[in-house]
Structure 1
């Protein structure tokens, strides 16, 4: 089931809408918080209260008064300049409907509130848009007469006006072409083409396409002229990019990384739709210009052309506020498949991360096991670099990977249980708006760290004994299975308390630090570049790894077999006392540098691999995926995510609805005061 269908499954308590309605008492509290005017003992919101303070659409220090009044008029059905609580509540219900965008746009033009739009009302609003100011529309055109009548006295209903809005910008573009084609040749210059597209169709253009419009158009016309058929095909392509993506996937049987030639794409297009050869030519020309391709495209190329569509923005926002159907609705079999899928990705990511930093881990272990108070003779290693050099000299390069196999065997269950428990517990701490407090993140991480010990302790004790085996000159080669048989079941959990003392605080620090670091490094749309994922994982690992080093030292001492002359320990407290008495406080921080240099990049590589695999091998089970792990989709709709906790119920999608008036229809109202703007210049 696609996200739009999931969106349609969510329900409103009233009115048959798709969002959960807000609790009335809570909604009334929110209204009272923003209502600044009182009349006859009743509180009201002003236009500024609703648009500036509540929706936060414009800069409170510099905004266009007319734009604010027009937008507030959408809610103010009585048209008295004030918004009552019943009007506020009624609009919250309207936002729950699937056609909320069209209903909201209709109310913008229905300035007198009679449920119909007249020609004067339409002109009044259009004259205030930035588009009309930059490129006026011919209000006497046959198109206008077809909708409002020859005398322009016909009133247009909601359903008819929604169709009018759908067609208006297509006609606006054609009108712009007519105005630029002054000699009636059917051609305009590439500069006129650029101006028309940026003025009228900017809501359909990504920044990449905007910056390459002239290059793309000039590449198809030697005389630097754009024909009317090319102009229409270019606009048609932009309007149907979601269809283009489906045509691509049809031609590759769902594979997103397979290269497709123009001929292959054309064959798929003719089988699925009526996409014209000229539109296909323009598509490949754009991809060539944007990505320097050689006549072939892949799925990711299409994202540079198509902005994020309105309904995708809405459904993504709904997923964030948990208004879509819950994962439990998907059925047990689907959930098992998803768990298996995540388990596999976690195993691969863990193996990659562990292998990348394993030599550092071996050096860390040997440094922590080196005793200075009870072993007669000189210390074996002066520092971590000396240890690294001696391992290569006496044991070869492969000596740096002693114990790697049991480590990799434990990565899959360790990562699976850690990620699963962390996500499971986090879900219990989310509030109704999809937010989680810091203490909830810490507890979730602590539970994840505690749960992994059942897997990590047996495998680490085997790994550690293999790692230090190479220190004994001339000793026979030690293998994993004999070590397991020697230890037995109880022996495999020797040092488990110290392991808990290390892993619980480590995860309690790491998971919240990673989540917040990743969010701070994301771009404006919430997307994380692979480098920022790697950096976030590495940064979060620094405090987590360093602060739990004492517990790691104690665990290592408990799990390694003491040789002749070395101190033995009976437990955590005994080890703590003896290490402090014989070696001092600094001994608890042995290998701290090596541990940070191992854990920090390991977790960075692991989580980078996991989230990149989510992008490359994504399978939609109807559940969730790591925040910011989606392929980047350029969006020109502004900030679609509300940062106001008072946006609840239907108002949770108020920003995408209001922004959608611009991104869907191109009806951009001036945001700033002209007078103030000129003064500031």
Structure 2
């Protein structure tokens, strides 16, 4: 129930700053020292129970949590001590303990425990039997034994289980060990609301009794249902074991049962309830997905990379998606893809320039002396004769074209993957290849003009004499038809590249994800770079052919009439090895370029997320149990541990059933 240590490690507030905040709300002077009343702390400082008809008893009880001296006032020392307690990972239990410890003795008596429980709505709806064995076992036959803090945490846990059992007995008037569905629903909502997601809460009557007719709930079913909800994080880990990293996998009952028996004490009845509840939530049976588990568990989403800068919900449900919404989603992805493409291209452009010059270098016996010995020699000579800016020759048309090029490729891949994926997000390898191939084909209309202008500008730098070549001059010289020269080779390169790249990237993300199936920036970048290596190198022959077709041949160099003519002449004049020229440079350029492009694209989708009712990028979102430290206050006066105060009080109420009423009857 407590927060994780890493999340709960909140920076302590500066004493001087904390004193300033305290004095701002303290209105009472006692012995020359400022003091807060419990009501000032709860209503003014925390901002709770602001309504006029608030219950003074409730507010005083909550305020008394800080008043360890039990003198009716909160001193600065007590205020500071509670701030420190809120920074601890077990803040919820410590807060609850101080609420029950009415006399500040450091332990809890039977009467103190009973007094607080009787003031809760939980007790008002389903009275707890304080004369039963539960109280005798924890506080002794004579009710004289007191409970320490460590013991208190277990008492609270056992109290919930005991209260649920007592509630079952109350509704089981015939002592048959069976209650009806409505009574079952009432018990769960009143006693176990902190374990219920909205989906489960809405289907309690439907799931009652399992698959048997009549919806009668036996005591074993009741206990198994509660145990299942208490162990949803364990259920999730069992699923991840079965799925083997594929978060879109659907696991059968047999697979789940086998994994459960290998690693836990989850019973077959609990698994039966899990699958029955899943069948109700999505009107199907036989398999369970991660999405099903997350709908059952009382989780709320949080971002793995960081909190989003912007999050907008465009539709209320996937069913509400229409043509307009789909278009808006594509425009959204296109915009982010443009930014990502520009970022990736800029990072690796010098490598691309070297790759192009190496691929254009002819090795025929009549061509003359080679200009560059290798890629490193090429880079050094560019810097020596053209300056560092020479490495970025042709960057402007590259950026003008690469934005729509990468945007179309990324958007089309996402679009086709969405269309080919099942309702749970699973997709076959051949469908991933098709989606990637479609992405590669769709980009050629932008890629080809971009490539031919860029290449001619890059090669122009090799000619020391003559006027400076500009992009507009190249476009004017080529004309519209000339801008698409070599487009067949572009198709030969871009379709296989994307068909290899995107499926490889998706599977690398699965392999490099953490134990929960989520990817951080490091694994995203590494996945994208790894995927770029085979994709870039294996299509090098097509890239060489495209370059030869698009570059303007100089005197003495062979010209090519088409793809097959280029293949025939290159192999005859330069040998088979010529098709792999610039391969390493291409890998060094394409792999990091797509690495930074995909990293930027996914990070932008996480930071500026808009919910169009579609799917997030795989591995971008983690679902975790509601943790106190996620629910920090936005009040600037809630500094240090007090940034968690509202969440802690909420946790005390929801997790332990301490819903203190506004009015006392």
Same topology, TM > 0.5:
yes
| Rounded Cα–Cα distance in structure 2 between residues aligned with 1:5 and 1:251 | 28
Matched, 1:6 2:12: no
d(CA) in 1 for partners of 2:451, 2:307: 52
* Paired position in structure 1 for 2:136: 145
Partner residue, 1:641 = 632
Whether contact under 8 Å (1:410, 1:455) holds in the other structure is no
**Compared CA separation, residues 608 and 24, structure 1 to 2 (3 A):** closer
Describe how 1:220-299 pairs up with structure 2 within 5 A.
220-299=211-290
When residues 456 and 259 of structure 1 are mapped into structure 2, their CA distance, relative to the original with a 3 A threshold, is farther
> Per-residue deviation at 1:666?
1.9
SS at match of 2:82: helix
Q: For residue 412 of structure 1, what is the aligned residue in structure 2?
A: 344
Residue 655 of structure 1 aligns to a residue in which SS?
helix
Q: Which runs of 5+ in 2 are unaligned?
A: 309-328, 350-391, 406-448, 463-467, 473-600
Q: 2:159 aligns with which of 131, 156, 168?
A: 168
Q: CA RMSD in A?
A: 4.2
- For residues 335-379 of structure 1, what are the alpha-carbon distances to aligned partners after superposition, in whole Å with 9 as ceiling and x for unaligned? xxxxxxxxxxxxxxxx98699589xxxxxxxxxxxxxxxxxxxxx
Within a 5 Å distance, the mapping from 1:320-331 to structure 2 comes to: none
Q: Residues 191 and 355 (structure 1 numbering): CA distance in 2 closer, same or farther, change over 3 Å?
A: closer
Distance apart, 1:456 and its partner CA: 6.6
Match of 1:479 in 2: 452
CA contact (8 A) 1:118 1:148 kept: yes
Query: Is 1:53 the equivalent of 2:10?
Result: no
Paired position in structure 1 for 2:530: none
- Cα distance in structure 1, aligned partners of 2:460 and 2:304: 53
Question: TM-score scaled by structure 1?
Answer: 0.55
Q: Secondary structure at the match of 1:275?
A: coil
Q: Deviations over 1:400-421 (max 9, x none)?
A: xxxx9x999646346999xxxx
Change (3 A) 1:153 1:258: same
Per-residue CA deviation, residues 259-304 of structure 1 (Å, 9 max, x unaligned), is 1011111111011101000000000111111122331111111111
Alignment of 1:265-414 (within 5 A): 265-308=256-299, 410=342, 412-413=344-345
Determine which of 89, 97, 104 is the counterpart of 2:88: 97
Hey, what does 1:207 align to over in structure 2? 198
Question: Contact 1:206–1:634 (CA<8 Å) still a contact in 2?
Answer: no
Does the aligned pair in 1 maintain the 2:397–2:450 contact within 8 Å?
A: no
CA contact (8 A) 2:196 2:298 kept: yes
Structure 1 residue 28: deviation in Å? 0.2
For residues 274 and 192 of structure 1, the distance between their equivalents in structure 2, rounded to whole angstroms, comes to: 28
Q: Give distance in 2, aligned partners of 1:289 and 1:51.
A: 42
Match of residue 33 from structure 2: 42
Q: Secondary structure of the equivalent of 1:644? A: coil
Cα offset, 1:40, TM superposition: 2.6
**Which of 23, 28, 33 is residue 19 of structure 2 equivalent to?**
28
Shift of 1:228: 0.2
Find the aligned partners of 1:239 and 1:656 in 2 and give their Cα distance. 21
SS across alignment from 2:4 = helix
State the distance in 2 between where 1:192 and 1:634 align.
27
Distance 1:35-1:456 versus aligned 2 partners, 3 A rule: farther
Cα separation, 1, equivalents of 2:393 and 2:459? 19
What are the Cα deviations for residues 175-198 of structure 1, in whole angstroms up to 9, with x where unaligned?
100111111101011111011111
Structure number, greater radius of gyration: 2
The separation in 2 between residues aligned to 1:180 and 1:416, in whole angstroms, is 71
Match of 2:65 among 67, 74, 82: 74
Q: 2 CA distance for matches of 1:273 and 1:173?
A: 24
The aligned length equals 422
Give 3-state SS (helix, strand or coil) of 1:38's partner: strand
Which residue number corresponds to residue 111 of structure 1?
102
Compare 211-220 and 54-63 and name the one that shifted more.
Answer: 54-63
1:617 corresponds to: 618
Contact 2:401/2:450 (8 A) holds in 1 = no
Moved more, 265-274 or 476-485: 476-485
Shift of 1:253: 1.4
Shift in alpha-carbon separation, 1:632–1:249, aligned structure 2, 3 A:
closer
- SS of the aligned residue for 1:26 comes to helix
> What per-residue deviation string (whole Å, max 9, x for no partner) do you get for residues 221-256 of structure 1?
313310000000000000000000000001111221
Q: Identify the match of residue 185 of structure 1 among 154, 165, 176.
A: 176
Q: Paired residue for 2:529? A: none
Following the alignment from structure 2 to structure 1, what is the Cα–Cα distance between the partners of residues 204 and 268?
Answer: 20
SS for the counterpart of 2:299 is coil
SS in 2 for 1:63: coil
CA shift for structure 1 position 145: 0.5
2:149: which partner in 1? 158
Query: Comparing 165-174 with 607-616, which one deviates more in the overlay?
Result: 607-616
Q: State how far apart, in whole Å, the 2-side matches of 1:176 and 1:56 are.
A: 34
CA shift at 1:668, angstroms? 1.6
Contact 2:42/2:59 (CA < 8 Å) preserved in 1?
yes
Q: Match of 2:426?
A: none
Change (3 A) 1:352 1:143: same
What is the distance in 1 between the residues matched to 2:56 and 2:635?
Answer: 22
What is the DSSP-based 3-state SS (H/G/I as helix, E as strand, rest coil) of the residue aligned with 1:479? helix
Q: Is the 8 A contact 1:186 1:227 kept in 2?
A: yes
User: What's the TM-score, normalizing by structure 2?
Assistant: 0.56
